[in-house]
Amino acid sequence: MWSMIVLFGAPNAMPKWWWWCFVGLASLVGLIIPSFTGWDVHLDLSIIFIFGMLALSMGFLWGFGGMLSFGQTAFFGLGGYTYAVWGLNFEETTFAMTLAVALPMVVALVLGYFMIYGRISAIYFTVITLVVTIVLEKAIRATSDERFVIGDVWLRGQNGISTVPDLQIPWDPGETFFVTGVYYVAFILMVLSYVGLRLLLTTPFGRVLVGIRENERRSALLGYDARRYKLMAFVLAGGLAGLSGGMYGVWGNFVAPEMMNLNSAASVVIYVIVGGKATLIGPLVGTGIVQVLTAWLGTAGVGQVNLILGLVMIAFVMIFPQGVLPSIGLAILYCLRRVRGAARGGKRPAFAPTDTALRREE
Amino acid sequence: MTEAVVYLYQIGFSIGIFILVSLGLAIIFGMMRVINLAQGEFIMLGAYICLFTTQAGVNFWVAALIAGLGVGVFGIIVERVLIQFLYGRIMDTLLATWGLSLFMVGLVTTVFGPQEAGVEAQLGKVWVGDYSIPEYNLVLIAIAFLLLILTFCLWRFTRAGLIVRGTMQNPGMAAALGVNTRLCYMLTFGFGSALTGFAGAIIAPIIGNQPTMGSFYIAKAFITVISGGHLPLVGTLYASGLFGATDGIVSYFYTQVLGEIAVLLAAILLLRLLPQGITGYFRRGL
Amino acid sequence: MAQAEYLLETRDLVKQFGGVSAIGGVNFRLRAGELRCLIGPNGAGKSTFFKMLTAQHKPTSGQILFEGHDITRAQSHHVSRLGIGIKNQVPDVFDGVSVRENVWLAARYRFQGARANQRVDEVLERLSLGALAEQMVGELAHGQRQWVEFGMVVALEPKLILLDEPTAGMTVDETQRTAELIAEANRTSTIVVVEHDMQFIRQIAQLVTVFHQGKILVEDTMQAIQANETVRDIYLGKSGIA
């Protein structure tokens, strides 16, 4: 984490010019890619962008709010089902997508109120969000009976809903986004959420949130009501996860309880720890790496992807607890300082271990 | 009258399951502060060991003991390979054991396939009026309470239990008094794993064995131990009683899923009112 | 509401941990503008007392009044908003962010926008922390971290400042500078200091309160305290008092 700060500046500082250049360049590349590639690539990339938003919601909450929430997967599923149910009932998708963001936010608000205002410890928070995800999945699975309808839509239990409507163009509801259109929507939403969260960190809200992550007691002694800030962050992240879930429904015209089972929750954690949670770009990069890896494993004929993902997860926790990006950053920094230090005989770099803030909670 | 007996049985059975699945975690998480997300897979492993030993012709009860021992040994290996590097890093134990859980599910699926396989425990039925209750389920309730009481006695009245409690409270001081704390942590983790494995074997006959069966119990186990608070054994007893009763009643009248949802809501409400868990205001005990 | 006679008043304040009584009935009164020192041997309950004043511990019984408001059951952030700032015994700062960000987080609570930044510059200037402004607080030495925390408290401009061992781990020069800073802050704020360094106390104190075994033993000027037999007895064998 410190390596990233030293290399790229504090995450709370206003982004430098090169960051804007990077974002601009990346957007340009993202927008012209469809001109040179086929639908298969558009589909593969769209899903990375969609999962990227989900990873971003967890990475933001974990890295900058100090809250590891597995509820993101539950909000993801909730967003998907909300979009599907509203869209099928009313044959209208713009509001359905809005609702896919809003409903998870409301649920996050209620759930977060009980957990955050109850002042349960960080680890209990994590476990409770996990349990919520597990139970929600079970609840959806239990809806295979034809009694379980919302409006005209039968939830179909573990079979999922495979008739999720395409996303209509908001200003021209007669037309829908098709593969390439979905690609653009997913890409633009991902870039907007990344830039939005990055800028949010520079606002007083974001800076106070990081302060609370660093030391909740001190924040309270300065007059900040830490619970309010944490709850707001939780609600915001819940909305982003819901958006990602709605887009997932659009992408595959399909929602199912698997969206929120333990394996999906684990995947999101893996995206974030592979990319590292010290930066917001980390979760996005991690999503890309892991998605490409799993796709490759799938075609390489490894039967159980879980087996490999489990090992990847263990390896990262044990060996690169900071994730790929910060580890690379650390290596660069180390080399830089070695070169400079050798020239000057200067002082050795002093690195703090990884997430002191989280550990201090226990 | 018969109605009342049946309710009582439902509740008792539900409490028994809660105790069985959370007792091992009460040791591993409640005492050692290690979040073991692979707890469900330890249960699964116990069930599978029991399955294969009974298929080899071994008596079910002997097989259950073998399952306990086997998972205990497995737990010790896990402690040596993974956990011992992560003491005090509670979030990291959570993530690493989650990786372990994925790995174990993947491995068992690859080796034995995803299909269900049942364990038979031949016991008869008891008739209460028009209702039949499997005798095995009654034995299960008895075993659950017996295990809890035995663990309590082991911790409370034996020298080994005293040493373990001392070490968990203050490892530095225990080490200064000549306790081999590394060994102590290792064996305690092994003990918790053995309890879990044994529980898995005992549960095996009432549900089919499946590589993913662990995920049925992980939520129950964690809710119970967290809500129990800082006294793992007493807390587990109270929390199992509370949630088991909730689950038993709601499941009996409605559906199992609703039972589980009711338990979750009860736990969230409980933690809002008593953030330290049920035993948060108890000063001493186990 | 009528102007309260005392800025801070506690009535029969008691704190028990388990069965052990850390504070056993403290009646403490402080007038606005004072610079009071609390002394007493280790375990006398000074830090516990401070933590109760700022709602880091809940009192077992008794009452705390600040400007006539009952803050016994308030939460930490309420207490801060009413105007009490505290520097805890162990440096209690935001380790993972810069010195400037630390002070800004404090200043931001009182001032908006550009005014907050201006306030940060003032405080950094006064504490001579300007050169360290962009450093990560976690990388600083113990004494410097204490100053950062002191700076955060000053930036809040509280009516009452509580300082728990502000000079622990500081060099003679740093201690000297801290004494000046405290005197300076005392022009606008009421201050209570817990200290062990008698030299330092003689330099700054007006009234001194002696804690012993969770109670107030005496309250007097430094000269009188030094002449007090009982105080000598409880400190006997300690090198602190001279």
SS3 A46: helix
Q: Which residue has the tokens 């075993």?
A: B143
Q: How far is Cα B112 from Cα B276, in angstroms, rounded to an integer?
A: 42
The answer, yes or no, to whether residue B179 has pLDDT greater than 60, is yes
At C180, list the tokens: 């000046």
What is the per-residue pLDDT for C240?
Answer: 45
Mutation target to probe the C interface, by most C beta carbons within 10 A, among A218, A224, A359 is: A218
Nearest CB to A223 within list C80, C94, C104: C80
Average pLDDT of the residues in A342-359: 41
What sign for the dihedral angle of Cα B139, B144, B147, B153?
negative
Distance, first Cα to last Cα, chain B: 37
Q: Which of A156-170, B33-47, B54-68, C216-230 has the lowest mean pLDDT?
A: C216-230
At B221, list the tokens: 């186990």
Q: Please indicate if any CB of chain A lies within 8 Å of the CB of B104.
A: yes
What is the per-residue pLDDT for A348?
Answer: 39
Mutation target to probe the B interface, by most B beta carbons within 10 A, among A314, A354, A355 is: A314
The answer, yes or no, to whether residue B76 has pLDDT greater than 90, is yes
Q: How far is Cα A42 from Cα A240, in angstroms, rounded to an integer?
A: 22
Cβ A179 vs Cβ A167: under 8 Å: no
Is B106 in contact with A305 (Cβ distance < 8 A)? yes
Cβ C192 vs Cβ C160: under 8 Å: yes
What is the per-residue pLDDT for B5?
Answer: 86
SS3 C19: coil
The shortest C-alpha distance from B64 to chain A (Å) reads: 27
Mutation target to probe the C interface, by most C beta carbons within 10 A, among A209, A222, A277 is: A222
Residues of A in contact with C93 (CB under 8 A): 215, 218
Residues of B in contact with A119 (CB under 8 A): 275
Residues of B in contact with A274 (CB under 8 A): none
The shortest C-alpha distance from B86 to chain A (Å) reads: 8
Nearest CB to A124 within list B86, B92, B271: B271
Is B226 in contact with A263 (Cβ distance < 8 A)? no
Is A214 in contact with C94 (Cβ distance < 8 A)? yes
The shortest C-alpha distance from A307 to chain C (Å) reads: 36
Cβ B48 vs Cβ B107: under 8 Å: no
Chains contacting chain B through 3 or more C-beta pairs under 8 A:
A
The shortest C-alpha distance from C92 to chain A (Å) reads: 6
At A178, list the tokens: 């098709």
Chains contacting chain C through 3 or more C-beta pairs under 8 A:
A
The shortest C-alpha distance from A225 to chain C (Å) reads: 6
At A32, list the tokens: 């012209």
The answer, yes or no, to whether residue A331 has pLDDT greater than 70, is yes
Residues of A in contact with C80 (CB under 8 A): 220-223
Q: For C56-77, how does the pLDDT look when each residue is reduced to its tens digit (9 = 90+)?
A: 999 999 999 999 889 998 999 9
Is A208 in contact with C105 (Cβ distance < 8 A)? yes
Average pLDDT of the residues in B164-176: 85
Mutation target to probe the C interface, by most C beta carbons within 10 A, among A119, A202, A213, A221 is: A221
Residues of A in contact with B219 (CB under 8 A): 130-131, 134-135
Average pLDDT of the residues in B194-212: 90
Q: For B245-267, how does the pLDDT look when each residue is reduced to its tens digit (9 = 90+)?
A: 999 889 888 888 888 889 888 98
The shortest C-alpha distance from A252 to chain C (Å) reads: 42
SS3 B134: strand
Q: For A42-55, how does the pLDDT look when each residue is reduced to its tens digit (9 = 90+)?
A: 999 999 999 999 99
Cβ B28 vs Cβ B189: under 8 Å: yes
Nearest CB to C80 within list A207, A215, A221: A221
Nearest residue of chain A to residue C83 (CA atoms):
A223
Chains contacting chain A through 3 or more C-beta pairs under 8 A:
B, C
Nearest residue of chain C to residue A207 (CA atoms):
C105
The answer, yes or no, to whether residue A356 has pLDDT greater than 60, is no
> Half-sphere exposure of residue B204, counting CA atoms within 13 Å on the CB side?
37
Q: For B7-44, how does the pLDDT look when each residue is reduced to its tens digit (9 = 90+)?
A: 888 899 999 999 999 999 999 988 888 889 999 999 99
Residues of C in contact with A217 (CB under 8 A): 56, 76, 92
Is A12 in contact with C75 (Cβ distance < 8 A)? no
What is the per-residue pLDDT for A346?
Answer: 40
At A352, list the tokens: 């703090």
Query: Residue C231's pLDDT band (boundaries 50, 70, 90)?
Result: confident
The answer, yes or no, to whether residue A295 has pLDDT greater than 90, is no
The ipTM (two decimal places) reads 0.86
What is the per-residue pLDDT for A211?
Answer: 93
Nearest CB to A313 within list B35, B99, B257: B99
Average pLDDT of the residues in A320-349: 70
Is A10 in contact with C106 (Cβ distance < 8 A)? no
Instruction: State the DSSP code for C27.
Output: E
Q: What is the mean pLDDT of chain C?
A: 86
Q: How far is Cα B44 from Cα B212, in angstroms, rounded to an integer?
A: 8
- Which residues neighbour C26 within 8 Å (Cβ) at sequence distance 6 or greater? C10, C12, C13, C14, C45, C49, C62, C214, C215, C216
Q: How far is Cα A49 from Cα A187, in angstroms, rounded to an integer?
A: 6
Query: Residue A359's pLDDT band (boundaries 50, 70, 90)?
Result: very low
Highest mean pLDDT among B152-156, B270-274, C159-163, C220-224: C159-163
Is C80 in contact with A222 (Cβ distance < 8 A)? yes
Nearest CB to A321 within list B82, B92, B261: B92
Give ∠ CA A208-A211-A212 in degrees, rounded to 5: 90
Query: Residue A2's pLDDT band (boundaries 50, 70, 90)?
Result: low
Is B226 in contact with A128 (Cβ distance < 8 A)? yes
Q: What is the mean pLDDT of chain B?
A: 88
The shortest C-alpha distance from A271 to chain B (Å) reads: 13
Q: How far is Cα B163 from Cα B169, in angstroms, rounded to an integer?
A: 10
Residues of C in contact with A10 (CB under 8 A): 97-98, 101
The shortest C-alpha distance from A131 to chain B (Å) reads: 5
Cβ C137 vs Cβ C151: under 8 Å: no
Q: For C153-205, how does the pLDDT look when each residue is reduced to its tens digit (9 = 90+)?
A: 989 889 999 999 888 878 888 888 888 989 989 999 999 999 888 888 888 87
Q: Which residue has the tokens 């425990």?
A: B121
What is the per-residue pLDDT for A5?
Answer: 58
Q: For A6-22, how does the pLDDT look when each residue is reduced to its tens digit (9 = 90+)?
A: 555 566 777 888 889 99
Residues of B in contact with A313 (CB under 8 A): 95-96, 98-99, 102
Q: Between A241 and A145, where is the model more confident? A: A241
Average pLDDT of the residues in A30-57: 94
What is the per-residue pLDDT for C130?
Answer: 85
Nearest residue of chain B to residue A322 (CA atoms):
B92
SS3 A248: helix
Chains A & B: contacts with CB separation below 8 Å: 129
Q: What is the mean pLDDT of chain A?
A: 86
Average pLDDT of the residues in A194-214: 93
Is C81 in contact with A223 (Cβ distance < 8 A)? yes
SS3 C219: strand
Query: Residue C241's pLDDT band (boundaries 50, 70, 90)?
Result: very low
Burial state string for A235-259 with b = 16 or more CB within 10 A and e = fewer than 16? bbbbbbbbbbbbbbbbbbebbbbeb
Q: How far is Cα B125 from Cα C242, in angstroms, rounded to an integer?
A: 86
Residues of A in contact with B106 (CB under 8 A): 304-310
Cβ C135 vs Cβ C143: under 8 Å: no
Instruction: State the DSSP code for C25.
Output: E
Mutation target to probe the B interface, by most B beta carbons within 10 A, among A313, A358, A359, A362 is: A313
